[in-house]
Structure 1
């Protein structure tokens, strides 16, 4: 039965590669499968040539070759159920590493793109979707239809990187002790990543942010370094290891690689991200009467609207000192701006925990934090009403 299941998966992969669906990505290679105008394809399937990091240096392909799907799901990787025939998916052996290889060949592992030859993964890279997509769990936990833009809050990038065979070579190139790096990477936990660790060797991971509801947001990132395309370029080149250019004199970076696989893709990628609306709260997930009272507080006594303004509830490009907010200053201190952006609130119900470092477990905790920090004097009932309003956005 096991052999039959793997054979069915590989047959499905072959059928996908040879079918008439011109919207499907081409078989994985280091070349982009996407047109420069196809933002969804870029978001989901373009590695920007980052195989140079994940294959040539970190040797991630060697790790996944022996990785059972259950283990992969356990560190937060997701499977796109629509990329695998339903009957095949239902019978797949999730304890067999060969199933992982077959899923990679099907391009069914969200945010992972690999080349499989004779049953072996020979090249592998990652895409934007690895961190900024999840699935609806409609088949099983971690297996379902894609939800682009939703942060993958169970993905543990640090644990995955810590297990790669080539990590010692990588840390040596950074001048960082490998044991120290492994300890730091393993401390991050699910849903967190430190996009500055390979720049300053400090470890202060932040929550993977949503990539939805960004159209009217002037500045991306918790610290507001620049618009969406700025951060897309920074991550693609300095974090994903893509083959492209990035320059920011504020942080002393001037990276040039030819051909530039990143810059031509940024406009379409931005437009696709702009097209992803923040998800509406599920019906019955909040108390509408309490939320109406909370709205009055939000715009009045609680003073929330002094910063959370406009359709996206952010006053960006205005930035704020950490001392204004009462949150940890570490992320701001390491950034180009030294300050924090007001976080947009649309869809906030979907992505607990909160604050850049996840220090608030619930929106109620966020309300309590500001009630104390700003000495608002809200009663317990008022704090509950305000939480319900935030859950309604």
Structure 2
């Protein structure tokens, strides 16, 4: 994994540097080009470091920072050590670490079992997607979360879970449910959902790594009819340029979802409006809580949405590293993808989704409608496939129901009566890994 991510990072950095060089060259003749670069840089900082004021929820209300610090560091309980933090999928930005600390990590001289080390990393702003807020005496007094928590990882270049940021990558080993369950005060969730703490923790535990339920606080549907969790896989935030609808069910556009998540899921202090969520039949909890129309003063979200969107659109899907797939088989697989496999009829290159209203009824896809019916669209979006190799765990489709790409191919082969040969199926898998 270290080699794979490092190679991807170098390729992305080269592409980004080339883009920047070309853009700066054009800026001399076109002021708008320079403004675009400035907006992308601003968006990167928002994506990586802005909490939108959500520390009022995660720290001041849930008191999650106290559980992280532990009793010995002014908090409560045993605390969260770096080893535990890494085990639940949190990442450390190596570029935020002083050189001497990097050397100490390499030589095993840093105590990864002490929550005080976690607090020190927060003070360095080195925990990806998490911001520690400290008082004048250096004590952790609150915390907030950022977009990067779920939509970034690292290249493991220093150690597993410690490396350079890979923005836009889905955090598929991040156990959000387990992290939330550590909070000393879960009443905001239990009161909203109308359940006791034990029930809430059962729901959070059901998610597992790489999953989050962004609709639970709107419709209260924690589990599917078959008893499996209603949470969905965290999607990547790269390769979105030219893509219309976002999320597994096309709930809205990319900037719509940015506002939705920033205000109603991260609990940032901003404005969000969607009259569809006032439908008490489909969204009883949202209708009761008023999350269809949220207003905060001052608004710490809305003015940041354009730059955030610009940065997301600047993130290309990373190319797979050489040697990670069979090139000859992938070349044959492309022929299947474009021809007998009928994949390209929906996954149109280079977007690898349909331009326009990229939605399909559950029956077309051959799966149940549970997740689709939680969306105002009642449909599923054609997911963009570029960069698919970066997020193959824990499975495919919105809920990870297919463990492997071969399972996905087998499903469509049956659903669409394609009659592909074993060789064609194997070649198609290699092509999907190559996109």
Equivalent of 1:312, from 351, 365, 370? 351
Q: Does structure 1 residue 332 correspond to structure 2 residue 372?
A: yes
State the match for 2:117 in structure 1: 99
How big is each residue's C-alpha offset from its partner over 1:83-125, in whole Å with a ceiling of 9 and x where there is no partner?
0123213232111111100100100000001112334310100
Residue pairs, 1:118-137, within 5 angstroms: 118-137=137-156
CA distance in structure 2 between the aligned counterparts of 1:173 and 1:97, rounded to whole angstroms: 31
Equivalent of 1:187, from 180, 183, 206? 206
State the match for 1:228 in structure 2: 254
CA distance in structure 2 between the aligned counterparts of 1:265 and 1:258, rounded to whole angstroms: 15
Aligned-residue Cα RMSD (Å) equals 1.6
For this pair of structures, how many residues does the alignment match? 360
Cα drift, residue 142 of structure 1: 0.7
CA distance in structure 1 between the aligned counterparts of 2:65 and 2:301, rounded to whole angstroms: 23
8 Å CA contact 1:36–1:264 kept in 2: the answer is no
1:289 to 1:265, Cα distance in 2 relative to 1, 3 A: same
Q: Alignment partner of 1:333: what SS?
A: helix
CA distance in structure 1 between the aligned counterparts of 2:40 and 2:154, rounded to whole angstroms: 25
Equivalent of 1:42, from 21, 42, 46? 46
8 Å CA contact 2:192–2:217 kept in 1: the answer is no
8 Å CA contact 2:245–2:358 kept in 1: the answer is no
Which deviates the most, 169-178 or 279-288?
Answer: 169-178
Q: Alignment partner of 2:419: what SS?
A: coil
Q: Alignment partner of 1:124: what SS?
A: strand
Structure 2, unmatched stretches of 5+, are: 1-37, 70-78, 223-229, 279-291
State the match for 1:88 in structure 2: 101
Q: Does structure 1 residue 279 correspond to structure 2 residue 321?
A: no
8 Å CA contact 1:132–1:152 kept in 2: the answer is yes
1:35 to 1:92, Cα distance in 2 relative to 1, 3 A: farther
CA distance in structure 2 between the aligned counterparts of 1:363 and 1:77, rounded to whole angstroms: 26
Residue pairs, 1:1-393, within 5 angstroms: 38-65=42-69, 66-89=79-102, 90=105, 91-117=109-135, 118-203=137-222, 204-252=230-278, 253-315=292-354, 316-352=356-392, 353-393=395-435
1:58 to 1:226, Cα distance in 2 relative to 1, 3 A: same
CA distance in structure 2 between the aligned counterparts of 1:169 and 1:249, rounded to whole angstroms: 23
Q: Alignment partner of 1:115: what SS?
A: strand
CA distance in structure 1 between the aligned counterparts of 2:267 and 2:307, rounded to whole angstroms: 20
CA distance in structure 2 between the aligned counterparts of 1:47 and 1:192, rounded to whole angstroms: 21
8 Å CA contact 2:61–2:185 kept in 1: the answer is yes
Cα drift, residue 178 of structure 1: 2.1
CA distance in structure 2 between the aligned counterparts of 1:84 and 1:122, rounded to whole angstroms: 22
8 Å CA contact 2:39–2:307 kept in 1: the answer is no
Cα drift, residue 36 of structure 1: 10
Cα drift, residue 37 of structure 1: 6.9
Q: Alignment partner of 1:160: what SS?
A: helix
8 Å CA contact 2:94–2:162 kept in 1: the answer is yes
Which deviates the most, 233-242 or 347-356?
Answer: 347-356
How big is each residue's C-alpha offset from its partner over 1:306-332, in whole Å with a ceiling of 9 and x where there is no partner?
111131110142310111112342211
8 Å CA contact 1:101–1:119 kept in 2: the answer is no
8 Å CA contact 2:329–2:431 kept in 1: the answer is yes
